Amino acid sequence: MAHTAPHHKKISTLHMLVIGLSLAMTIGAWLYSKHQVDKQIEARFIASRDRTVDLIVDRMSRYEDALWSGVAHARSLSGELNARDWHTFSETLHIEEKYPGVNGIGFIHYVERADLPAYHEARSSEGRPIQIYPEHDLEYLLPITYIEPEAANAAAIGLDVAHETNRRTGLLASRDSGSARITGPIVLVQDSGNTPGFLFYTPLYAGEMPTTVAERRERFLGVVYAPFVVRKLVEGLLSKDLRDVRFSLSDGEAVIYDEHGPDEPLYDVDPMFTDTVVVDMYGRKWTVNLRTNLAFRAQNSSAQPSLILAGGLVIEILVISLLVMLSRSTKQAHSLARDLTAELRAKTKHLEKANAEIEQFVYVASHDLKTPARGIGFLVDVIEEELEDVLKSAQNRGELQMQLNMIRDRVARMNDLTKGIMEFSRVGHYGSEGEPRLPVSNLIEDCVADFEVDPKQVHLASDVSEIACDSHNFRRVLENLIGNAFKYHPHPRAAKVEVAIKDRGDRLTVSVKDDGNGIAPEFHDKIFDVFQTLRKGTEPESTGIGLAIVKKAIQRHGFDITVTSSEGHGAEFSFCWPKDRSQSSMDLENVA
């Protein structure tokens, strides 16, 4: 019994390793799920952000198309516009229906001071004289001549946009570039609310489109323009009720639109996401500042990571409970074994009965441990069902499914361990006098069939035709040794196994030799201990019990097993076996 203390220590280390791995898997699954959920929510915000910015850019592009259609209309008239023509043109645009947010569409003439009388005469001939205002000292004037709908924009007719820097600068930039331009922030004269707005210009030239700045200035006739109140522009884009982000617009340092005030519906004091996008808007830089609102928070609050964490912790508790039960069972088994050993030293006649009780106890304990393992497997199925939507996602499927499958693999591993323990405990329950004899050739044929190998891969050389003593355990020993030879061979289909059974008179000597990778000498003793395995990460799973069963079955007849091997040169396992029951000398102290 001196060997039991270190064995118990190894079991305790295994317990700690299982708990650590289980906890690591739980935390890993939780962190991965949380990361995936956060990525999905961020992707939704990015999509909302891009959609909002694209709406602004797309709507401005549509307004630009409308202005260029006004330029084309003016060119078709060689620049000789009148109020009736402009009214007819604007009606074809259906501004209020197709261009929500725009206040109107108009035309601004470029008038040198020397040409001012002719400008007034032309307006008078139309029956609509215009009073240009306000006064300034520039050598040219930029009066708003036409704008539709005229009733809503009457206050703007006659306004000389040259008097104010932002209006003038944007118009001259459009003239010199030959492209559409907007002004910096202004307040429209027709806006009674005095809210930020801007003007949108497209230039008109006499004749063909000029190619140089000098030509553009020389042949410049005026601009088709549209006045905007930013608030109305945004309202025409998308209703707040249909957006789960709020934004503000800034032109330089000036905020021209803002939805970030606490009085805004669904205002989130601590938004989940914020971002800033700078847009090149027809010669100006608009800064779009976006933030999520309470609607976004409500739609993107996921309990999936918490569910995974809770489920993982439940599994962790079950694993710990299982290991505590195993530890207690082990301690109880050791305690009972010590008590029985003391009794056996005094009462050898009760040895077999006491040993059977110990083995039955371990068998029952191992059998009872299957229930918590099945509970863990059931809980994994429940979690997978709860996360069905997540697992269907192409982004989430691989990693999360791998974690769930890993838990299942560990449960299967636990079942294999308990099954191995049960088999280990039952080694001594065979070998009765009435057990049938075992033909050696039949045993080899069964191994070939069970392991699905070519019969030529297993060579048998035997001095006896059948096994007369404890044939059940002899079959188990040979199956384990031959099975391991194929299982851990780097090329199982090419493996060769030689089985030799020699008659030594009072016993049989048996050897199983393979041509696999071999075993380093420092591990020759270790491989026969319970739960010990030399499996590499790429090799098949092993419970570490098979060779322990082999050793126990051989030792119960008073013999031992040895291995001759070195790395890269295969391995040969050798042991003795009684020819019949009369030659089986069981060491009662070892069995206990």
The structure tokens listed for 64 are 């630009």
Task: Please identify, in words, the CATH class of the domain defined by 438-591.
Answer: alpha beta
3-state SS, residue 212:
coil
Let me know how long the chain is.
592
The structure tokens listed for 348 are 């050898």
Task: Report the chain's terminal Cα–Cα distance, integer Å.
Answer: 8
Average pLDDT over residues 59-85: 93
Q: Is the confidence at residue 2, as pLDDT, over 50? A: no
Q: Say what the pLDDT of residue 162 is.
A: 96
Output 393 or 80, whichever has higher pLDDT: 80
The closest alpha carbon to 190, from 146, 231, 151, belongs to 151
Q: Which amino acid is at 75?
A: R
Residue 268: C-alpha distances to residues 39, 273, 291, 324, 353 (Å): 20, 10, 8, 49, 76
Output 74 or 1, whichever has higher pLDDT: 74
Count Cβ atoms below 10 Å from residue 357 Cβ, excluding itself. 12
Average pLDDT over residues 523-552: 67
Q: Which amino acid is at 310?
A: A
CA 120 – CA 497 distance, rounded (Å): 114
Q: Is the confidence at residue 253, as pLDDT, over 80? A: yes
Helix (H) or strand (E) holding 289: strand 284-292
The model's pLDDT over 445-479, given as tens digits with 9 standing for 90+, comes to 988 888 899 999 999 999 998 998 888 888 888 98
Distance of CA 266 to the CA centre of its chain: 30
Q: Say what the pLDDT of residue 572 is.
A: 93
Per-residue pLDDT band for 221 (boundaries 50, 70, 90) equals very high
Name the average pLDDT for the chain: 82
Beta bridge partner(s), residue 248: 258, 289
Question: 3-state SS of 451-497?
Answer: HCCCHHHEEEEECCCEECCCHHHHHHHHHHHHHHHHHCCCCHHHCCE
CA 283 – CA 175 distance, rounded (Å): 12
Q: Is the confidence at residue 592, as pLDDT, over 50? A: no
pLDDT cut 90: percent of the chain above it: 41
Q: Say what the pLDDT of residue 404 is.
A: 67
Q: Say what the pLDDT of residue 258 is.
A: 92
The pTM is what? 0.52
Q: Say what the pLDDT of residue 3 is.
A: 47
Average pLDDT over residues 573-585: 80
Per-residue pLDDT band for 22 (boundaries 50, 70, 90) equals confident
Count Cβ atoms below 10 Å from residue 276 Cβ, excluding itself. 12
**Most confident option among 180-184, 241-245, 307-311:** 180-184
Output 522 or 407, whichever has higher pLDDT: 522
Output 470 or 291, whichever has higher pLDDT: 291
The model's pLDDT over 44-66, given as tens digits with 9 standing for 90+, comes to 999 989 998 998 999 999 999 99
3-state SS, residue 536:
coil
The closest alpha carbon to 523, from 544, 508, 504, 541, belongs to 544
Output 516 or 534, whichever has higher pLDDT: 516
Count Cβ atoms below 10 Å from residue 167 Cβ, excluding itself. 23
Q: Is the confidence at residue 254, as pLDDT, over 70? A: yes
Show me where the domains of the chain are located: 4-40+303-425, 77-235, 239-299, 438-591
Q: Using an 8 Å Cβ cutoff, are 533 and 546 in contact? A: no
Count Cβ atoms below 10 Å from residue 397 Cβ, excluding itself. 12
Average pLDDT over residues 82-94: 92
Count Cβ atoms below 10 Å from residue 316 Cβ, excluding itself. 17
Per-residue pLDDT band for 502 (boundaries 50, 70, 90) equals very high
Q: Say what the pLDDT of residue 513 is.
A: 94
Q: Say what the pLDDT of residue 287 is.
A: 97
DSSP 500-520: EEEE-SSEEEEEEEE-SS---
Q: Say what the pLDDT of residue 405 is.
A: 65
Number of H helices, E strands in the chain: 17, 18
Percent helix, percent strand, percent coil in the chain, to nearest 5? 55, 20, 30
Angle CA 425–581–513, to nearest 5: 70
- Of 37-41, 70-74, 181-185, 198-202, least confident by mean pLDDT is 37-41
Q: Which amino acid is at 270?
A: D
Average pLDDT over residues 154-176: 96
Q: Say what the pLDDT of residue 284 is.
A: 96
- Of 318-322, 482-486, 516-520, 574-578, least confident by mean pLDDT is 318-322
Q: Is the confidence at residue 177, as pLDDT, over 70? A: yes
**Domain spanning 77-235, CATH architecture:** 2-Layer Sandwich (3.30)
- Backbone torsion region of residue 203, taken as left when φ is above 0, otherwise alpha when ψ lies between -120 and 50, otherwise beta: beta
Q: Using an 8 Å Cβ cutoff, are 583 and 469 in contact? A: yes
